[in-house]
A and B are shown apart, each in its own frame.
Chain A
Amino acid sequence: MKVLIASLFSGLLFGFGLVVSGMSNPARVLNFLDFSANWDATLAFVMGGAILVAAPGIYWVRKRSKPLFANKFDIPTSKTIDSKLVLGSACFGIGWGISGFCPGPAVVAVVSLQSDVLLFIGAMLVGMLAQYFLTPKSS
């Protein structure tokens, strides 16, 4: 139960962070990606603020031998730069540049119940399932 409450609370913080920062509005994201007149640099401050807290926070947490409510840390350790990483990130970037949505903002924007947002998130979940079922499991 405490696992679920901690996770729910983390999700609340994340969700508030996205709406407070305005990242839930794809227009704001696109105005960051578009370098022409009226450039909106807000997104850089969101990522900067998040890293400013997360970098020392993660460093501090990892000094512990284990997390509070689990037996071990589950953190990716691979350092291999492979074609899947680059191709996948490029695909994601193209979709992000078309829509202005990455997964987090799309999740909170569902609350608007706008049909194009619901279509986006439906398609995103289909894309995730497609990758899950199509890509051979290596690990």
Chain B
Amino acid sequence: MTPFEPLSGLAGGILIGLSVVLLLLTLGRIAGISGISAGALTQRGSEQYWRLAFLAGMILAAIFYSNFMGGFKVETQLGSGWMIIAGLLVGFGTRLGCGCTSGHGVAGLSRLSPRSIVATLTFMAAAAATTNIIRHL
């Protein structure tokens, strides 16, 4: 069980929104984490470097938070085998669908992209169905 925390959720969401706006203002890019992660592997030169810098920023924030701001919990369910299957599905699916919760769910919905609206409804529905089947059937 996790407590419902709307205020910290809203605060974190605002930071994520600021990140999206800042990256678009400076580099002209959409902050989609699946695209940034994949591009960090497949691109070369400056196309690779800015993506690595973004990922380094994310990891530095997490290191700072866990050392100086009380840390954060990572509680997983199911075993390692399921985590590998889930990882493969998330990696393959986000690239085939050209985005994830950030690129489609935040940036895409914010600019009312029809593709992002369809993608977000699809992955939300698939995720809710999967979780409910695993937990209750």
Give residues in A with beta carbon < 8 Å to B. 2-28, 30-31, 33-36, 38-55, 57-62, 64, 66-70, 72-76, 78-81, 84-104, 106-112, 114-117, 119-132, 135
B9 touching A91 by the CB < 8 A rule? no
In the complex formed, the residue of B with least CB distance to A109 is B74
Min distance, Cβ B121 to any Cβ of chain A, angstroms: 8
Residues of chain A within 8 A (CB-CB) of B31 are: 10, 14
Q: Which of A50, A74, A132 touches B106 (beta carbons < 8 Å)? A: A50
What's the Cα separation between A131 and B51 when bound, in Å? 19
Q: Closest residue to A39 on the B side, CB-wise?
A: B4
Contacting residues, chain A, for B79 (C-beta < 8 A): 116
The verdict on A40 contacting B3 (CB below 8 Å), with A61-B25, A128-B34 known, is yes
Contact with A along B77-105 (1 / 0, CB 8 A): 11110111111111111111110111011
Q: Which of B18, B59, B89, B96 contacts A98 (CB 8 A)?
A: B89
Q: Which residue of A lies closest to B88 (CB)?
A: A127
| Contact indicator A85/B98 (Cβ below 8 Å) | yes
| A58 and B28 contacting across the interface, CB-CB below 8 Å | no
Give which listed residue, A17, A110, A111, contacts B13 with CB less than 8 A: A17
Residues of chain A contacted by B109 (CB below 8 angstroms): 47, 51, 55
Cβ B9 vs Cβ A22 within 8 A: yes
B90 and A96 contacting across the interface, CB-CB below 8 Å: yes
Given contacts A9-B22, A22-B9, contact A89 B126 (CB under 8 A): yes
- Chain B residues lying within 8 Å of A97, measured Cβ to Cβ, are 126-131, 134
Q: Which residues of A contact B93 (CB under 8 A)?
A: 87-95, 127
Partner of B127 from A86, A96, A125 at Cβ < 8 Å: A96
Among A57, A78, A79, A111, contact of B62 (Cβ-Cβ < 8 Å)? A111
Minimum CB distance partner of A121 in chain B: B87
A15 in complex: contacting residue of B25, B51, B58, B83, CB < 8 Å: B58
A residues in contact with B26, CB < 8 Å:
2-3, 6-7, 10, 67-70
Residues of A within 8 A of B101 (CB): 47, 96, 102-104
User: How near does chain A come to B47, taking the closest CB pair, in angstroms?
Assistant: 10
12 A-B contact pairs sorted by A residue (CB < 8 Å)? A4-B53, A14-B31, A19-B66, A31-B1, A35-B128, A43-B9, A48-B10, A61-B24, A79-B114, A93-B124, A96-B90, A124-B88
Is there an interface contact between A93 and B37, defined as CB atoms closer than 8 Å? no
Bound Cα distance from A9 to B86, whole angstroms = 30
Please name the residue on chain A nearest to B27 by beta carbon.
A70
Smallest CB separation, A130 vs chain B (Å): 6
